[in-house]
Amino acid sequence: MFSSDAFLVSNFFTILYLTGFKPLNPLEREAYVLVLKDKKIIITDARYRGEKCNNDAEIYFLNSGERVGDVIRRICNEYLVKTLGCEADDLTWDEVLMLQKIGFQIIPISHAFSSQRSIKTEEELFAIKQACHIGDSVLKDITPFIHPGQTEKEIAWYIEKSIREGYNAELAFDPIVAVDSHAATAHYNTKNGEGEIKNGSLLLIDFGVKVHNYCSDITRMVGVGSVSEEIKNIYTKLLNVQNKTIMYVKNSKQLKDIDEFCRAELQKNSLPNFNHSTGHGVGLEVHESPRINALSIDNKKVGQVFTIEPGVYIPNKWGMRIEDTITISLQGEGEALTQFPKNLIFV
Amino acid sequence: MFSSDAFLVSNFFTILYLTGFKPLNPLEREAYVLVLKDKKIIITDARYRGEKCNNDAEIYFLNSGERVGDVIRRICNEYLVKTLGCEADDLTWDEVLMLQKIGFQIIPISHAFSSQRSIKTEEELFAIKQACHIGDSVLKDITPFIHPGQTEKEIAWYIEKSIREGYNAELAFDPIVAVDSHAATAHYNTKNGEGEIKNGSLLLIDFGVKVHNYCSDITRMVGVGSVSEEIKNIYTKLLNVQNKTIMYVKNSKQLKDIDEFCRAELQKNSLPNFNHSTGHGVGLEVHESPRINALSIDNKKVGQVFTIEPGVYIPNKWGMRIEDTITISLQGEGEALTQFPKNLIFV
């Protein structure tokens, strides 16, 4: 698979993808996987003794005081490994220095598994569809209860409780609930803010569900009471652009074409450009390969799953975004997996 | 502060520590901070336009298509930076290669801010105390409702709801609720498991609260109905070891002494050794510097906050751990911040 005798995987999600092993904290380095010619060896610490992984992997538990570099060296020597590929986009400089000291050749490979992970198997797609379906249901459940006086945080918490208590699923990420000018920050942090819904507010709701480790991602807009005609008009145009972009997917070859098309359509409609990607891959991570932006070098491929999410942001006033998670069908078309109606929701 | 003209910070928590800026996803690289002689410049993308930081920092928002390396080069040129320190334990190999291409000298520094972050200011300590206090209250609230037939996941969810709804705080980490043999896995993943409480079960509850970004960490044990005399006896011994270890802190100079003392006490009591550290620093991260284990090279210092958490684990049978978050007082003593009673809780 790689131009090395073996490959050292360090990324939390790639480890999960390859072995089914899932340590507690993705923020800490709790495991590595050595991918050898005919086996995968997970190296983790003894706190995980008893945890499971897929049948085609085995787990080595570090003894107290044992250094991971020594174990990697021992296994690599045993399997006559001379060159070791590693995830250059994940391994830290300290880890590189540690491996270089061991004495065999380390080869940096960026995004080694991104392409493979971006093409979903039927089983993966099934989990993503479930996650999208639950997201649709959550929107149906919670939107009727949105009203002036609520805070962004309260709504985010209702969404979370609905996902977790109502559907026994997990969050793909902390919901973004952003009212009026807050929504002009595309990545508004609801947990940091104190926004409250008023009559006439425009509300952005961006959240994702996780089922069997796979994510969905959806954004819908809610108008509370009387919303200005200007906003309604712009919303209609944006929705039109978003729908046309999804339709255009079948004609695209490279993913950057989709980004270009979307921005050109915005311009045709005299809408301002937005300052984020038109979309991103969705899978074990809510942001993964491929990227749908001007820098993307990937082609469209059957089985990819990514978002289409153009937005209009007017600083200090309001922001709107419409986002679906789509997959590339056998016919090369963009098939929306999130199916909650896309009209401006009025409450 | 460092032997370089400037320092590039990439770690999510160090960025939060130095600037108050908190991007949405600690798993993705969403910001860097350039620490110059007399200013700090946060570099992030335009999705965060509108977000805030401390007054002594400023934010540069990347324009669409603009590369972070180009911005770092431009700023460094402007400030006549020739040598740039960076977090070798955080920066990826790809990022190192990107910086090396820029043309100035990059200096790897491991855990550059760990020592500074490990000594808590009064304000930081206040937040940690609040988090500990809420943890105590949550235990008081939820333990009376534990009963046979409940699942581990249900109890974890009650803990989370109590923290978030009852006390308007956050989780420091996903609670570990582990019944009987599951608790023999020190880092048991409650979300992966299907454990159910039975009459006679021994239940481990390990959770943390986060208040104003600062964490607490506590573990207590619950006996459900009739628990064997053997377990009660071992629990009493373990509690004695844990208490003596906290008492011993005042006599220690190096942190590894505490680890050594704790394990020696276990041995004196004919209890098996445990396969994790005796403790870990707690602050913005639930696991941070210092480490209380045999490899630790740090001295005990006033203002440190760390856990003391010896355990006894009998594979396939049961596990127990008693954990407090403590701080080093002005007198050099270990002062427990978690104060929920440490007897075996019977329900």
The tokens of A97 are what?
Answer: 């220095």
**pLDDT confidence bin for B334, thresholds 50/70/90:** very high
Beta-carbon separation of A49 and B315 below 8 A? yes
| pLDDT surpasses 90 at B40 | yes
| pLDDT surpasses 80 at B117 | yes
CB contacts, 8 Å: B173 with chain A: 24-25
| pLDDT surpasses 70 at A232 | yes
Under 8 Å between Cβ of B301 and B118: yes
In single-letter form, the type of residue at position A215 comes to: C
CA-to-CA separations, B110 to A76, A94, A222, B11, in angstroms, rounded? 26, 7, 47, 12
Tell me which DSSP letter residue A215 carries.
E
**Domain edge (last residue) among A112, A142, A172:** A112
Mutate to test the interface with B, among A29, A99, A187 (most CBs of B within 10 A): A187
The tokens of B322 are what?
Answer: 């008693």
| pLDDT surpasses 90 at B77 | yes
How far is the alpha carbon of B301 from chain A, nearest alpha carbon, in Å? 24
Instruction: Give this prediction's pTM.
Output: 0.92
**pLDDT confidence bin for A187, thresholds 50/70/90:** confident
| pLDDT surpasses 60 at A160 | yes
Going by their DSSP bridges, the two strands A31-35 and A40-45 should be labelled as antiparallel
Q: How close are the terminal C-alpha atoms of chain B, in Å?
A: 54
What is the predicted ipTM? 0.89
The tokens of B96 are what?
Answer: 């190192």
- What is the reported pLDDT for A64? 73
B30 & B154 share domain: no
B190 & B306 share domain: yes
> Considering the domain boundaries, does residue A284 fall inside one?
yes
Nearest beta carbon to residue B287 from set A28, A165, A187: A28
Please state the rounded mean pLDDT for residues A91-108. Answer: 92
A66 burial class (0-12, 13-18, 19+ CB within 10 angstroms)? middle
Specify the residue for token string 């538990």: A61
Q: Could you tell me which of B112, B61, B115 has the C-alpha nearest to residue B84?
A: B112
Specify the residue for token string 């000291």: A101
A188 & A275 share domain: yes
| pLDDT surpasses 60 at A1 | no
> Considering the domain boundaries, does residue A292 fall inside one?
yes
Please state the rounded mean pLDDT for residues B111-115. Answer: 95
Under 8 Å between Cβ of A283 and A337: no
Specify the residue for token string 């200011």: B121
Please state the rounded mean pLDDT for residues A62-85. Answer: 91
| pLDDT surpasses 80 at A152 | yes
**pLDDT confidence bin for A195, thresholds 50/70/90:** very high
Strand partners, B44: B31, B61
Q: Could you tell me which of A254, A255, A234, A230 has the C-alpha nearest to residue A322?
A: A234
| pLDDT surpasses 70 at A259 | yes
Determine the Cα–Cα distance for residues A307 and A322; give it in Å rounded to an integer: 10
Mean residue pLDDT of chain B comes to: 95
- For chain B, the residue count is 347
Q: Could you tell me which of B2, B62, B49 has the C-alpha nearest to residue B23?
A: B49
| pLDDT surpasses 60 at B339 | yes
Displacement of CA B175 from its chain's centroid (Å): 13
> Considering the domain boundaries, does residue A1 fall inside one?
no
Determine the Cα–Cα distance for residues A159 and A166; give it in Å rounded to an integer: 10
B253 burial class (0-12, 13-18, 19+ CB within 10 angstroms)? exposed
Determine the Cα–Cα distance for residues B77 and A90; give it in Å rounded to an integer: 28
Tell me which DSSP letter residue A4 carries.
S
How is B149-217 classified by DSSP, letter by letter? T-BHHHHHHHHHHIIIIIHS-EEEEEEEEEEGGGGGSTT--GGG---B--TT-EEEEEEEEEETTEE--
Displacement of CA B187 from its chain's centroid (Å): 14
CB contacts, 8 Å: A24 with chain B: 173-174, 176, 187, 189
- What is the reported pLDDT for A3? 75
Report which secondary-structure segment, H or E, holds A176: strand A170-179
| pLDDT surpasses 90 at B51 | no
A136 & A276 share domain: yes
Instruction: Residue B34: give the domain boundaries.
Output: 6-112
Q: What angle do CA A329, A171, B148 make, to 5 degrees?
A: 125
Q: Could you tell me which of B345, B341, B343, B344 has the C-alpha nearest to residue B137?
A: B341
Displacement of CA B235 from its chain's centroid (Å): 25
> Considering the domain boundaries, does residue B230 fall inside one?
yes
**Half-sphere exposure of residue B94: CA atoms within 13 angstroms, side-chain side:** 12
| pLDDT surpasses 90 at A229 | yes
B28 & B168 share domain: no
Report which secondary-structure segment, H or E, holds B258: helix B255-268
A313 & A275 share domain: yes
The tokens of B207 are what?
Answer: 């959770």
**Domain edge (last residue) among A94, A112, A130:** A112
- Within 48-77 of A, beta carbons closer than 8 Å to B belong to 48-52, 63-65
Across chain B, which distance is largest between two alpha carbons, in Å?
71
Determine the Cα–Cα distance for residues A222 and A341; give it in Å rounded to an integer: 12
- What is the reported pLDDT for A103? 81
Say whether residue B45 is in contact with chain A using an 8 A CB cutoff: yes
- What is the reported pLDDT for B52? 84
| pLDDT surpasses 80 at A58 | yes
Nearest beta carbon to residue B189 from set A24, A88, A174: A24
> Considering the domain boundaries, does residue B156 fall inside one?
yes
Report which secondary-structure segment, H or E, holds A42: strand A40-45
Q: What angle do CA B230, B236, B237 make, to 5 degrees?
A: 90
B157 burial class (0-12, 13-18, 19+ CB within 10 angstroms)? middle
> Considering the domain boundaries, does residue B1 fall inside one?
no
In single-letter form, the type of residue at position A218 comes to: I
> Considering the domain boundaries, does residue B201 fall inside one?
yes
B157 & B68 share domain: no
B71 & B191 share domain: no
The CATH number for B46's domain is 3.40.350.10
B309 & B169 share domain: yes
CB neighbours of residue B198 within 10 Å: 12
What's phi and psi for A275, nearest 5 deg?
A: -105, 30
A204 & A260 share domain: yes
How many domains is chain B partitioned into structurally? 2
How far is the alpha carbon of A192 from chain B, nearest alpha carbon, in Å? 9
Beta-carbon separation of A276 and B184 below 8 A? no
Strand partners, A206: A176, A219
| pLDDT surpasses 80 at B244 | yes
B290 & B165 share domain: yes
| pLDDT surpasses 70 at B1 | no
| pLDDT surpasses 90 at A46 | no
Contacts of residues B248-253 at CB distance under 8 Å and 24 or more positions apart, as own/partner, are: B248/B334, B249/B300, B249/B308, B249/B326, B249/B328, B249/B332, B249/B333, B249/B334, B250/B331, B250/B332, B250/B333, B250/B334, B252/B300, B253/B299, B253/B300
Determine the Cα–Cα distance for residues A18 and A56; give it in Å rounded to an integer: 9
Under 8 Å between Cβ of B300 and B255: yes
CB contacts, 8 Å: B164 with chain A: 157
A50 & A151 share domain: no
pLDDT digits (tens, 9 = 90+) for B254-311: 999 999 999 999 999 999 999 999 999 999 999 999 999 999 999 999 999 999 999 9
pLDDT digits (tens, 9 = 90+) for A273-328: 999 999 999 999 999 999 999 999 999 999 999 999 999 999 999 999 999 999 99
**Domain edge (last residue) among B61, B93, B112:** B112
Determine the Cα–Cα distance for residues B272 and B337; give it in Å rounded to an integer: 27
CB contacts, 8 Å: A276 with chain B: 45-47
Determine the Cα–Cα distance for residues A190 and A162; give it in Å rounded to an integer: 17
Please state the rounded mean pLDDT for residues A225-238. Answer: 96
The CATH number for B338's domain is 3.90.230.10
How far is the alpha carbon of A85 from chain B, nearest alpha carbon, in Å? 12
Mean residue pLDDT of chain A comes to: 95
> Considering the domain boundaries, does residue A51 fall inside one?
yes
B232 contacts: CB under 8 Å, gap ≥ 6: B223, B344
Tell me which DSSP letter residue A162 carries.
I
How far is the alpha carbon of B250 from chain A, nearest alpha carbon, in Å? 25
pLDDT digits (tens, 9 = 90+) for B198-221: 999 999 999 999 999 999 999 999
- Within 197-256 of A, beta carbons closer than 8 Å to B belong to none
Mutate to test the interface with A, among B13, B59, B93 (most CBs of A within 10 A): B93
